Chain A
Amino acid sequence: MSAKTNPLEESLVAPCAPAQPGEASRQPRADATLEVHRNEPVGPWFDWNLGELSAYRELLYFFVWREIKVRYKQTVIGVGWAVLQPVATMIVFSLFFGRLAKIPSGGLPYPLFFYCALLPWTYFSTALTGATGSVVDNQRIITKVYFPRVILPLSAVFSGLIDFAVAFVLLVGMALYYRVTPGPWLAFVPLFLLLATLTAFAAGLWLAALNALYRDVRYVVPFLAQIWMFASPVAYPSSLVPASWRWLYGLNPMAGVIDGFRWAVTGQSPPTLALLGASTFGVMLMLAAGLWYFRRMESVIADVV
């Protein structure tokens, strides 16, 4: 260590004397600007302090930043993993569902059809898994310092976007390879991405809270995601679903996301408004319920995590 004197070594413990004005090195802020932190029992209904969330937005950024940094420091292939996994899945599915089972693919070559859906789906499923474990994985921090706990599933959901961005570049490349030029519909991609993000967040809120209470929930999630994938038009087009049931099918927000995303990239088979409407309604419902449940469980979580 350096030879310079440590100023703190010189100041030995001072006896308990009342503070003299002017003795202080850094005075605390003036009275008028002080925020008040009130802590009371959780109310039964919607109890969100949106102003507080805004005050913590920098921390949200840091959580996402940390998540991404740690993830890429730990993997050898790093960014490559974001591409390798969906490509491998796509090859397998193309072979079995496209070639052998000959699932109709709405006029598109099956690999492209599938990859268009797989991309947002992979993002969703990674975000969901990440969000589920977010509270428990950060149990050390949660029990020591206060910040709005909702930042945890939210940051997990956001950090998946980097992988998505990388894989998206590959998707555009694939589309060009199959000579499917993206049209102006591409502008809708952010919209469907937002829908996927909200869905992952909404479901993540429930799962994060449940996982904190019952630690085996995170093992159920991959299974849940698998079922959910088959309930969404990833491997097959939504046109397979009879028209009269399509609204019910559409309540699954990911149905709207997948169909919409596929259309936005390739311009083929636009999703029906009924489907989109149902999906949007579905996600709003999930979000409201998720936020309510998470808020209610926040205190219990802090006690058991």
Chain B
Amino acid sequence: MSAAAIAVSGLGKRYRLGERERYVALRDVLSRAMTAALRRKPGRGTNGNGHLWALRNVSFEVREGETLGIIGRNGAGKSTLLKILAGITRPTEGYSELRGRVGSLLEVGTGFHPELTGRENVYFSGSILGMKRREIDRKFDEIVAFAGVETFLDTPLKHYSSGMQLRLAFSVAAHLEPEVLLVDEVLAVGDASFQKKCLGKMGDVAHSGRTVLFVSHQTSAILQLCPHSLWVDRGGVRAMGPSREVVARYLASLQSGIPGKLDAAVDRRGRGRVRFTRAWLENSEGTPAEHVMSGETVRVVASYESADGAPLVNSRFSIAVEDMLGQPLFLCDTSLGADDSAPRPPSGRVVCTLPELPLNQGRYLLTLYLEANGETQDWVSSAVGFDVSEGNFFGSGRQAPPGWASQCVLVRHRWGFER
């Protein structure tokens, strides 16, 4: 018997289609059964074939002290896997075994109730996350200090700002000391500074000898925290190994077959009232190209369409250029330039001109982001790839050494020697 902290063998989870329908009413079930009996058909709401395997035949092991990242598309089965490991739902076949106290951080603020005071919520939430009362007593001051809510301890939570609630919730969760920690996209909430704090704390936990399973969309976070990763695709394990390799293979699979067309883009989030439809690069001659040169004038063009035909108010367009592993290199954003908050046409093309493409040779990815009417409308990650070939950014005819391919932003600079 190995000293595996987490062991998963032959795990499978099947859902009956339609099971996730909410608000099934007994009277509907009964009336369906009765009318079905009259029609002399099998009296089931769904036919016998209506099954979906969210996970099938998943097996892997995680050694004690390892931090494992789990990546995959939406609907691949990552969250289901985490739920089974946490014990929230039971598998249809196979089993999972975790050694040690398990802490599950599947959301921030588990157990919080608006009518209870901050103090009461800390106790209840701490208890439900797995801490004993004595433990909470011991850590209480620390938890409160970390969140910075000392003066509001005895006011009901409903009077807290959302930022305070988030900080308190995270603070409780951060003081858990389980042997195995399961984290699911918790970092996707809150503002940038809060996310940085979370990331920092996660890093601490990962280095303290605990076993951590970390599910995230953000490949950059995975690469930062997890030496090894697991790629879950359509209910099965597609790859497992060093993160750089697994993430690279995963991102390669995200590129849609037809360059530039975004209909089939799989990693996209947002409200969706306005969507990007196509995106491509144009070289200095104005022709669409997948290969451009370092230092040349490049236009990134993205066409978008609005579902309701209304002009876009308070819009913001953003393009992030990333390396092949999804790590962001630099950002172009309409809100960074002169303030121009004119309403935009409901459909059209947005063009971002880079006078001198500051990228070394290699392959890069684009992430597109669109905000309108105060909400994120479309966020397509790592959707479009393009190649940069050697050019003449510095005017000297020279390029960075080969080891810097695909990961180098070029910046104008001067050298001097001083006594």
Chain A positions within 8 Å of B, measured between CB atoms, are 1-2, 6, 8-9, 11-19, 23-29, 31, 34-42, 58-59, 62, 65-66, 69-70, 73-74, 140-147, 210, 213-217, 220, 298-300, 302-304
Contact = CB atoms under 8 A, between A and B. Distances in A.
B258 interface: no
Given A66-B116, A142-B88, A145-B86, A16 B225 contact: yes
A147 B128 contact: yes
A14 B24 contact: no
14 contacts: A19-B206, A37-B97, A38-B95, A41-B91, A58-B132, A62-B123, A66-B113, A73-B115, A140-B110, A143-B106, A144-B104, A145-B88, A302-B89, A303-B15
B128 A141 contact: yes
B115 A74 contact: yes
Nearest to A301: B89
A40 B94 contact: yes
Nearest to A217: B26
A58 B280 CA distance: 59
Given A28-B209, A142-B88, A302-B88, A40 B227 contact: no
Q: Which of A11, A40, A142, A143 has the most CB of B within 10 A?
A: A40
Contacts of A1: 148
Interface stretch (B195-203, B260-268, B358-366, B384-392): B195-203
Given A2-B148, A215-B25, A302-B89, A39 B84 contact: yes
B274 to A, nearest CB: 31
A214 B29 contact: yes
Contact of B99 (A19, A34, A214): A34
Interface in B185-241: 196-197, 199-201, 203-204, 206-210, 223-227
Interface of B: 3, 15, 19-20, 22-27, 29, 65, 83-102, 104, 106-107, 110-111, 113, 115-116, 120, 123-124, 127-130, 132-133, 146, 148, 150, 156, 177, 179, 196-197, 199-201, 203-204, 206-210, 223-227, 243
B233 to A, nearest CB: 22
A298 B87 CA distance: 11
B95 A40 contact: yes
Contacts of B94: 40
Contacts of B15: 303
Nearest 6 interchain pairs by C-beta:
A146-B87, A214-B26, A299-B90, A40-B95, A302-B89, A24-B208
A181 to B, nearest CB: 42
Nearest to B128: A145
A27 B204 CA distance: 12
A147 to B, nearest CB: 7
B406 to A, nearest CB: 20
A216 to B, nearest CB: 4
Given A11-B200, A13-B200, A15-B224, A303 B19 contact: yes
Given A2-B148, A13-B200, A216-B27, A141 B210 contact: no
Contact of A62 (B19, B101, B124, B177): B124
A303 B224 contact: no
Contact of B91 (A40, A144, A215, A298): A40
Contacts of B115: 69-70, 73-74
Given A28-B100, A29-B100, A145-B129, A304 B19 contact: yes
Contacts of A147: 128
Contacts of A144: 88, 104, 106-107, 110
Contact of B224 (A13, A27, A146): A13
B102 A11 contact: no
Contacts of B102: 37, 146
A23 B44 CA distance: 59
Contacts, number: 175
Contacts of B24: 213-215, 304
A149 to B, nearest CB: 10
Given A12-B200, A141-B128, A28 B179 contact: yes
Given A15-B224, A28-B177, A58-B132, 20 more contacts: A8-B146, A8-B197, A11-B203, A11-B204, A12-B196, A13-B199, A18-B227, A27-B208, A27-B209, A34-B99, A39-B84, A39-B90, A41-B90, A70-B116, A141-B111, A144-B106, A145-B86, A147-B128, A299-B89, A303-B19
Contacts of B243: 16
A253 B87 CA distance: 35
Contact of B65 (A19, A26, A299): A19
A303 B89 contact: yes
A106 to B, nearest CB: 40
A23 B116 CA distance: 38
A36 B99 contact: yes
A65 B116 CA distance: 11
Given A62-B123, A146-B104, A299-B89, A28 B210 contact: yes
Given A40-B95, A146-B86, A8 B200 contact: yes
B116 A39 contact: no
A215 B24 CA distance: 6
A8 B170 CA distance: 13
A24 B106 contact: no
A304 B89 CA distance: 10
Contacts of B99: 34-37
Contacts of A299: 89-90
Q: Which of A14, A27, A28, A298 has the most CB of B within 10 A?
A: A28
Contacts of A141: 110-111, 128
A298 B91 CA distance: 12
Nearest to B95: A40
Contacts of A145: 86, 88, 104, 106, 110-111, 128-130
Given A58-B127, A145-B128, A24 B97 contact: no
B208 A39 contact: no
Contacts of B207: 14, 17, 19, 23-24
A29 B209 CA distance: 10
Contacts of B100: 28-29, 34-35
A141 B225 CA distance: 27
B25 to A, nearest CB: 4
Contacts of B208: 19, 24-28
A9 B123 CA distance: 26
A169 B120 CA distance: 29
A206 B254 CA distance: 46
Contacts of A42: 90
A143 B227 contact: no
Nearest to B89: A302
